[in-house]
Amino acid sequence: MTALTKAHINKFKQQLLTLQQALSTQYESGKSASDTVVLDQSKVGRLSRMDALQQQNMAQSTLRNIESRLRRVNRALAKIASGDFAYCDECGAVIEIARLEVQPEAPCCFACQSKQEYHPQS
């Protein structure tokens, strides 16, 4: 395992700040698509209403995913500030640099993340 250096932490901090800005922008632009669907029923058929509601549900789901990732990014930035960055929330082990390069906001090491995904009750 390669040790995490100040250069690595600075690189991840910049990636997280860039990701934070991008997610905030996506969230703001997607909010209007998830607003309540208002249709003029005299002009729009049943299938069009169903399509509009389905699109609204997909937009809301996308916003929830963005919010969740934004929370993880903000938490990772807070962990950088406190000096706890790159430590697994579950077992306390150091998270591999390769994992952080793919997902700098990762809260867990690969082993703990796998346990959560495949055995959520354990």
Summarize pLDDT for 71-112 with one digit per residue, the tens: 999 999 999 999 999 999 999 999 999 999 999 999 999 999
pLDDT number for residue 19? 96
Give the confidence band of 67 by pLDDT, cuts at 50, 70, 90.
Answer: very high
Q: Is the CB of residue 122 less than 8 Å from the CB of residue 115?
A: yes
Q: Which of 12-21, 23-32, 66-75, 78-87 has the lowest mean pLDDT?
A: 23-32
Fold of 6-118: Four Helix Bundle (Hemerythrin (Met), subunit A) (1.20.120)
Please give the average per-residue pLDDT across 18-25, as a whole number. 96
Tokens, residue 52:
């509009």
**Residues 6 or more apart in contact with residue 117 via CB below 8 angstroms:** none
Residue 87, phi then psi, degrees to nearest 5 = -110, 135
Would the pLDDT of 43 be above 60?
A: no
pLDDT number for residue 29? 84
Comparing 74 with 51, which gets the higher pLDDT? Answer: 74
pLDDT number for residue 94? 94
pLDDT number for residue 61? 92
H helix or E strand, kind and range, residue 112: helix 110-118
pLDDT number for residue 39? 56
